[in-house]
């Protein structure tokens, strides 16, 4: 299997790049943010639990997020691989994912981390608010909080994959196509190795 953690701060371009990666490598795209948003829209129990956290730019608790992610993976028993987009976002989630994939006789192939500086992120998110309809994009204080939470809780997850020699940093500024090509090159280098 080809299991990729697509990593990076809010606004780094994970969703956009995921689309190109799933087409090229025939993978299943699991975006925890998208799954939460569709649950909020459908007014499910999970959506109700997640909404208060998301509205503030805080993380949804690990217990909720981990069990949701695992049940999503279970829906695709014949997948050739997954793009994990927005997960893992804490060290506990990274550990849980490793254990879960081991129990399925598979593992993470690599973490591809989109690197974009903070001023560019804030500009992109506020711009995205015009079309995304996402309240967490529209308010600069919430945007800043998401980046603060990222730096505090999520950035350390990179260390987890660095220790396993699975981390690959990708420069995240340029055209969508240029960045896709950087990602493809990184994947090909890992897979052919």
Q: Is 14 a catalytic residue?
A: yes
Of the candidates 71, 1, 46, 22, the one whose C-alpha atom is nearest the C-alpha of residue 184 is 22
Q: Which residues pair with 6 in a beta bridge?
A: 85, 112
Q: Is 147 in the site for ligand ADP (CB under 6 A)?
A: no
Q: Is 124 a catalytic residue?
A: no
Query: What do you get for the CA distance between the two ends of the chain, in Å?
Result: 15
Q: Is 113 in the site for ligand ADP (CB under 6 A)?
A: no
CB 116, CB 8: distance < 8 Å:
yes
In this chain, which of 97, 110, 121, 146 binds ligand ADP, going by CB under 6 A?
146
Extract the runs of DSSP E, i.e. beta strands, from 130-189. Answer: 167-171
Q: Is 168 a catalytic residue?
A: no
Marked catalytic residue, from 51, 124, 134, 144: 134
Site string for ligand ADP, 25-64 (x = CB under 6 A): -------xx--x----------------xx--xxxx----
Q: Is 37 a catalytic residue?
A: no
Least spacing, CB of residue 45 vs ligand ADP, in Å: 16
The span of 16-24, 82-90, 116-124, 185-193 binding ligand ADP (CB under 6 A) equals 82-90
Q: Is 10 in the site for ligand ADP (CB under 6 A)?
A: yes
Return the ∠ at Cα 125 (arms to 118 and 111), rounded to 5°.
65
Of the candidates 83, 71, 109, the one whose C-alpha atom is nearest the C-alpha of residue 8 is 83
Nearest residue to ligand ADP, by Cβ distance, number only? 33
The token pair at 60 is 């949804």
Of the candidates 80, 62, 115, 67, the one whose C-alpha atom is nearest the C-alpha of residue 4 is 80
Residue with smaller CB distance to ligand ADP, 67 or 188: 67
Residue 133 zone, left/alpha/beta (φ > 0; ψ -120 to 50; rest)? left
Which residues are designated catalytic?
A: 14, 89, 128, 134, 146
Q: Which positions touch ligand ADP (CB under 6 A)?
A: 10-11, 32-33, 36, 53-54, 57-60, 65, 86-87, 89, 93, 136, 146
């Amino acid at each position: 299997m080809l299991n990729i953690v697509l990593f990076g701060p809010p606004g780094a371009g994970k969703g956009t790049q995921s689309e190109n990666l799933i087409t090229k490598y025939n993978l299943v795209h699991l975006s925890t943010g998208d799954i939460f948003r569709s649950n909020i829209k459908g007014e499910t129990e999970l959506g109700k639990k997640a909404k208060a956290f998301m509205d503030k730019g805080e993380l949804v608790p690990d217990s909720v997020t981990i069990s949701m992610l695992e049940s999503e993976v279970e829906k695709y028993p014949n997948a050739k691989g997954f793009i994990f987009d927005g997960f893992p976002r804490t060290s506990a989630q990274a550990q849980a994912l490793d254990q879960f994939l081991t129990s399925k006789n598979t593992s993470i192939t690599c973490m591809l981390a989109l690197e974009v500086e903070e001023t560019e992120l804030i500009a992109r998110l506020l711009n995205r608010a015009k079309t995304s309809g996402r309240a967490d994009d529209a308010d600069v204080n919430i945007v800043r909080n998401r980046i603060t939470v990222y730096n505090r809780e999520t950035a350390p997850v990179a260390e987890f994959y660095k220790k396993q020699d699975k981390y690959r940093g990708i420069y995240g500024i340029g055209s969508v196509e240029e960045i896709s090509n950087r990602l493809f090159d990184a994947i090909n280098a890992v897979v052919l190795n």
